[in-house]
Amino acid sequence: MIWDLLKARWRQGHRTVKFPGPVALPERFRGRPAVDASKCTDDCRACAEVCPTGAVKPGKPVALDLGKCLFCRECAAACSRGAVSFTRDIAMAARRREDLMISSREMDLARALDGKARKLFGRSLKLRQVAAGDCSGCAVEVAVLNTVVFDLARFGIQFVASPRHADGLLVTGPVTDNMREAMKKTYEAVPAPKLVIAVGACAISGGPFAGSPKVHDGAESTLPVDLFIPGCPPHPLTTLDGLLRLLGRIESK
């Protein structure tokens, strides 16, 4: 039995992905959307009409709000001109909510914390994850970062059980009525200075639940957010890329 396990491990080889750097992504992976302004017309609303969350704003060029986008690709399918497409680029985290609105210009990716904050968190960042009414999609993809494939701890980033041991919160979900007070108390228990990271469309804007009387349309309605990581759910590498940019481990151009 032991010999069989050793042989299987030998066949598997090195399982941890090298990052930053080129990575093998699934064929169906949907990365950061791109807009080709030259293919847009003033009167076309096809992409906006099929968007389930109102993430697409018609015009010339069309604008797409990554904070609301579910990456369903309905907009790309509806556009006969091919003005909207989905790339294979994993990088799409931003420091400011307005930077998630993309059109024909290049997206402003997340920039690093200031020097003092990087000195505090750059080599050791402890996060408390808060599921604020999520479907578990984003939470599962975040949990995957702890596996041998991604090995989050090698970057000095770890999840902790107690907010009193944390440097910040990582929030998933649209912030339901039942979870809002719990999230606030968890945030208050984190020692200052502290960070808040909103992961997924629900935590950024409420996602498909936005406007419901039972949710508060994301973490920013209640807490100051330092990093927005879009997706439904974000790929683990998208989250990792955003965290490393925040800590200055990947330089944003």
pLDDT at 94: 97
Confidence of residue 253 (pLDDT cuts 50, 70, 90): low
- Residue 105, pLDDT > 90, answer no
**pTM of this prediction?**
0.93
Please provide the DSSP assignment of 116-134 as one string. Answer: HHHHHHSS-EEEEEEESS-
Q: Could you give phi then psi for residue 176, rounded to 5 degrees?
A: -75, 165
Residues 233, 253: Cα–Cα separation, whole Å: 25
How high does pLDDT run on average in the chain? 93
- Least confident range of 1-10, 88-97, 185-194: 1-10
Determine the average pLDDT of the residues in 98-102: 95
What is the second-level CATH architecture of the domain 115-246?
Answer: 3-Layer(aba) Sandwich (3.40)
CA 86 to chain centre: 16
pLDDT in tens, 109-155: 999 999 999 999 999 999 999 999 999 999 999 999 999 999 999 99
pLDDT at position 85 is 92
Within the chain, residue ranges assigned H as helices are 2-12, 46-50, 74-78, 115-121, 137-143, 177-189, 201-205, 236-246
Domain ranges in the chain are: 115-246
Above pLDDT 70, what percent of the chain? 100
CB 68 within 8 A of CB 210: yes
Question: What letters, b where the CB count within 10 A reaches 16 and e where it falls short, cover 66-96?
Answer: bbbbbbeebbbebbeeebbebeebbbbbbbe
Predicted confidence (pLDDT) at residue 13 exceeds the cutoff of 80: no
Output the six-digit token pair for 120: 């505090």
Cα gap 253→106, rounded to integer Å: 10
Question: Span 223-243, mean pLDDT?
Answer: 98
Predicted pLDDT at 21: 87
Average pLDDT over residues 49-72: 91
Whether residue 232 contacts residue 172, with contact meaning beta carbons closer than 8 Å, is answered with: no
Sign of the CA dihedral running 193, 132, 174, 71: positive
Cα–Cα distance between 240 and 26 in angstroms, integer? Answer: 17
pLDDT per position as a tens digit, 15-38: 899 999 888 898 999 999 999 878
Q: Could you give the 3-state DSSP secondary structure of residue 248?
A: coil
